[in-house]
Amino acid sequence: MTAPGADRRQLLTRGAVLALALGLWFWPVPEGLVPSAWHLFALFVAAIVSVVIGAFPILTSSVLALAAAVLTGTLAPTKAFSGFANGTILLIVVAFLVARAVVKCGLGERLGHYVVSVFGRSTLGLGYSVFLVDGVIAPAFPSNTARSGVLYPLVLSVAEAAGARPGEEGRRRLGSFLMFSGMASLTVSSALWFTAMAANPLGAEIARGYGLDIGFGSWFVASSIPTLAAMALLPFVLYRVLSPEVQATPEAPRAARRALAALGPLRAPEKIVAATFVVMVGLWATASTFGLDSTAVAFLGLGVLLATGVLTLGDIAKEGDVLATFIWFAVLFTLSGQLNELGFMGYLGERLAGALGGLSSAVAGIVLVVAYVLLHYLFVSQTAHLLALFGVFLDVGVKLGVPVAILAFLLLFATNFFSANTPQGSSANLLFAGSGYLSQGELYRLGALTTAVNLVLYLVVGIPWLVLVTR
């Protein structure tokens, strides 16, 4: 039973979202856009705003937007439902289930106790451990979504080993801190290494047209200082903001070692999961070399876990959150992708970038980077964002006299560090966002904070560093 005040507030917010959707829908279509692009934008914005102001949960707003888009003829059904067959989204679903197996068999508990035994003297130390592990394994994973599938079971295990459970108040903020550390870590680990995100080489290919030869080494040199600064600062900022219930745990490492000893040797299901996981990690790490599909690798792992009985159909049936995540992300992924296909993203990027004429090169460069980051609120894929806008912004910056190497690197790093701005900002967020430890409000608030911290760091620390190393 909800309080009357809460009911009124919900009615108001829902009314506001409806008014926003209708207002934008019937607003005169800007010159240069087709009506379907404008109408889809109205639905997309209404869906996102409804989540941000708490009018509807993200699943509800997404499916309502999808239904409206198809029933009004804004999108053809075949286009509208195409996200449900997207390989990356399926990879998330399967990674959720594999992570559940890691926890269920007891391997997760063992991993969690191990991490706590090494880093567990403080909650902040656990946060840094997440960034450290991610930063070390990142260069071997061109798919940051696949990497999230490796990192998430570890973070989940650490959270559980530390006594945090979704929905239980005692140590909820501790769990929130660790989960969001996983999301935030992916924003910077992907920026640290050229090979840590699929869009990085694509961006380098576009930048080659401007005479830039960006490879593994030059990328790392350029990214190292600002990214390491972000890795050092982000856990601390999140820690201060979330203020976990338990902060200093000097006895935790010893207790974890005792718990590890009590667990005894690996049991058969743990061995199966460990072996499966090692094979999956190996195949994911070498997927681009051998032309393997990352989603198929995940399906292979899930198949093995089901065939060996480590996971059962009953376990799958319990994972209702996975279905919800699959639906809302596939919907938003499709809507955002269609905005691009209908010309909205290109139009917006060209117009915004083109409006910067007359600014000094330094100001124009900073405005371009900031605008590029803010525009990620309209995207549901880092790669799609880069492909749609990186070349446009780089081109405009070059024409305005912004040093091409500095601007290119900043935009490329931004393509990674803005990924946590919203839960749908990257498919790599979904496992953490769907863990149950973070509310929708927290996800947007912490996402904005993380993106702002990254943006400031990459501008303040990154620009002087890039001036130095790109001479």
Q: Which stretch binds another protein (CB under 8 A): 49-57, 94-102, 407-415, 457-465?
A: 49-57
Taking the least distance from each CB to another protein, the nearer of 18 and 307 is: 18
- Residue 436 as a binder of another protein (CB under 8 A): the answer is no
> Which range in 61-69, 102-110, 216-224, 380-388 contacts another protein by CB under 8 A?
380-388
Q: How far is CA 142 from the centre of its chain?
A: 15
The CB-of-346 to another protein minimum distance in angstroms stands at 3
* Among 277, 409, 444, 465, interactor with another protein by CB under 8 A: 444
Rule CB under 8 A: choose which of 130, 197, 238, 348 binds another protein: 348
Nearest to 180 by CA among 438, 389, 397, 452: 438
The DSSP code for 53 is: T
Alpha helices in 418-461 (DSSP H): 430-433, 440-460
- Under 8 Å between Cβ of 148 and 428: yes
Check residue 122 and report its DSSP letter.
B
Q: Name the strand (E) or helix (H) holding 253.
A: helix 252-263
Between CA 191 and CA 299 the distance in angstroms is: 28
Tokens 């899930």 locate to: 302
**How does DSSP classify residue 389?**
I
37 forms part of the interface with another protein (CB under 8 A): yes
CB distance 151 to 287 below 8 Å = no
Q: Does residue 345 belong to the site contacting another protein (CB under 8 A)? A: yes
Tell me if 206 contacts another protein by CB under 8 A. yes
**Residue placing its CB nearer to another protein in the complex, 147 or 171:** 147
Kindly write out the interface string for residues 61-90 of this chain, putting x where it contacts another protein by CB under 8 A and - elsewhere. -------------------------xxx--
464 binds another protein (CB under 8 A): no
- Least Å distance, CB 49 to another protein, is 5
The tokens describing 243, both together, are 């203020």
Decide if residue 30 touches another protein (CB under 8 A).
yes
Would you call 351 helix, strand, or coil by DSSP?
helix
Is residue 57 close enough to count as binding another protein by CB under 8 A? no
| Shortest Å, Cβ 33 to another protein | 6
DSSP state of 380: S
| Three-point CA angle 256, 260, 262, nearest 5° | 115
Cβ-based nearer residue to another protein, 347 or 458: 347
Residue 269 or 349 with smaller CB distance to another protein: 349
- Could you count the other beta carbons within 10 Å of the beta carbon of residue 400? 21
Contacting residue, 391, 436, 461, 469, with another protein by CB under 8 A:
391
State the nearest-atom distance from the C-beta of 355 to another protein, in Å: 6
Residue 298 found at the interface with another protein (CB under 8 A): no
x/- string (CB under 8 A) for another protein, residues 182-201? ----------------xx--
Q: Which is nearer to another protein, 45 or 63 (CB)?
A: 45
Do 297 and 284 form a contact (C-beta atoms < 8 A)? Answer: yes
- DSSP labels for 194-250? TTSSTHHHHHHHHHHTTT----HHHHHHHHHHHHHHHHHHHHHHHHHHH--S--B-T
Site for another protein in 395-424 (CB under 8 A): 395
Question: Which one of 2-10, 219-227, 279-287, 383-391 is the stretch in contact with another protein (CB under 8 A)?
Answer: 383-391
Total residues contacting another protein by CB under 8 A comes to: 55
Indicate which single residue of 48, 93, 155, 186 sits in contact with another protein (rule: CB under 8 A): 48
Q: Assess contact for 420 and 193: CB atoms under 8 A.
A: no
Euclidean distance between CA atoms 376 and 384, whole angstroms: 10
Cα–Cα nearest to 278, from 301, 244, 248, 302: 301
- Determine if 53 is a binding residue for another protein (CB under 8 A): yes
Residues lying near another protein in the complex (CB under 8 A): 20, 24, 29-35, 37-38, 41, 45, 48-49, 52-53, 86-88, 198-199, 202, 205-206, 209, 340-352, 354-355, 374-375, 377-378, 383, 387-388, 391-392, 395, 441, 444-445, 448
